[in-house]
Copies of this chain bind each other. A is one copy, B any other.
Amino acid sequence: MSTTAITPTRAVDFPEWYQQVVRAADLAENSEVRGCMVIKPWGCGLWENIQRTLDVKFKATGHQNAYFPLLIPLSYLEKESQHAEGFATECAVVTHHRLESVKQPDGKIKLVPTGELAEPFVIRPTSETIIGAAFARWVESYRDLPLLINQWCNVMRWEMRPRLFLRTAEFLWQEGHTAHETAGEAMEEARLMHRVYEEFLRNHLAIPVIAGEKTERERFPGALNSFTVEAMVQDRKAIQAGTSHFLGQNFSKAANIEFLGRDNQRHLAWTTSWGVSTRLIGTLIMAHGDDDGVILPPRIAPTQIVILPVTPKPDTRAAVIDACEAFAQTLRAHSYQDRPLAVHVDKRDIPGGTRNWEWIKKGVPLRVEIGPRDIGIRSVAVARRDRGPKEKEFIGKEEFIRNVPDILDDIQNALLERATKLRDENTKRLDTEAEFRAFFADELPGGFALMHWAGSSADEERLQKELKITIRCVPHGDEYAEEGKCFITGKPSTRRVVFARSY
């Protein structure tokens, strides 16, 4: 059975392991449209749960959903030059609005673009500019503020080196956009959503992130400050899992979001934007997966329990399947985290080992086997995905039903603990450039290096070019505040920053 685990293992080739895990779990696949993926039902189910959970948090913090045009006129982008330059190299451009169908000699047709547009459009790489134009229409007085909007949509950034979920030309995401009366309120909003992301990753995805600010060089194009949550995955690299930006008045100036203030004068609004994407799914896989496949945290798994009927003989098959369906129904009447338990009965008539391994690879938290003998004795064989593939425990049905929420919480906590241990063991406080270089030497796994820093953007660029290492964030939190000297410039520093290789 070990031959059905993932090849290669994580230790042998982590990037290739990732590709294989995504395939084995049937989460997504590449399409023939360069850089664009097909998100398959299991991946879509994960995204739906992420979306549903975050949407509740967004609404609880006062936001409403709206939907804005996919296409952005070039003139909108041109208004904020930093922003335009930041995204120009990866924009898909719409230049025509018709096709002419030309009959070929062989009877087939050929389609040729026609109806050239006076002004081309880009497919949104992000929506600050087009939402800014709407906000300018909607805001008249301070009474219309704050404006707290979120959009769930697809965006497109042409990628030269795509990787499923982590970096794709088209991806799904949410983008929050808000406008405020004062700089302070906008900053508080950006920080609030930063905390929402940090909490969501920890409590739902079981990923302990480091929360902090980007350096000027790494900021969102056009932002005055970018807050980020950085996850460490199992090859010790960082993944930027979510960002929240304080945009100052840059975009309100570009789009002319003006309001009549309490002082009866006209003012520019202060805006924010914040987003997470299907990249979270890649982060989840890289954070928790093992050499057998994906491991999904119970709070986000599309299916929490899969029931596998064990049907060695045709004459008991119907009775076993009935028992499985009845058990599933009972379980579905119970809740976990305020939702009915998500239970699936896999009735496919394929070899039990194959079927079991499929669900291991998909990362379902609990697998429950019910065979002919279990019907009478009212017990079930339960296997937890966070333990070995052969470990199973026989539990009385009643007891199992009673304990399911605790077992799922236990798995959720075990994943968070494991990920926290990985992160903490691979985060080092280093003081010299020599230590820094040794930590990131090619034969070593690396990790997060906590360094004193007072360098310039040019210094950052040099480290990136030579070593492919960047400042992931200037972390918040008292544990990073201490007096010291920058390991490159020797200038005084009051806080350590996080350096890492990243996706």
Contacts and interface: CB of A to CB of B under 8 A. Distances in A.
B109 A98 contact: no
Interface stretch (A30-38, A284-292, A476-484, A488-496): A30-38
Interface stretch (A2-10, A65-73, A462-470): A65-73
B94 A98 contact: no
A488 B71 CA distance: 46
Interface string A95-112: 111111100000011110
Contact of A39 (B66, B95, B99): B66
Contact of A158 (B95, B98, B137): B98
A78 B31 contact: no
Nearest to A131: B38
A418 B101 CA distance: 47
A88 B101 contact: yes
B33 A73 contact: yes
B69 A40 contact: no
Interface string A46-70: 0110000000000000001111111
Contacts of A343: none
Contact of A122 (B41, B65, B99): B99
Interface residues of A, number: 65
A123 B149 CA distance: 26
Contact of A96 (B45, B69, B95): B95
A93 interface: yes
Nearest to A154: B70
Contacts of A73: 32-33
Most B CB within 10 A of own CB, among A44, A93, A100, A121: A93
Most B CB within 10 A of own CB, among A70, A85, A89, A154: A70
* Top 10 closest pairs, chain A to chain B, by CB: A36-B69, A41-B64, A39-B67, A93-B96, A88-B99, A93-B113, A33-B69, A97-B158, A44-B65, A95-B95
Given A84-B99, A90-B97, 13 more contacts: A31-B133, A33-B72, A38-B67, A38-B68, A44-B64, A77-B111, A78-B111, A84-B109, A89-B98, A91-B97, A92-B96, A93-B99, A95-B95
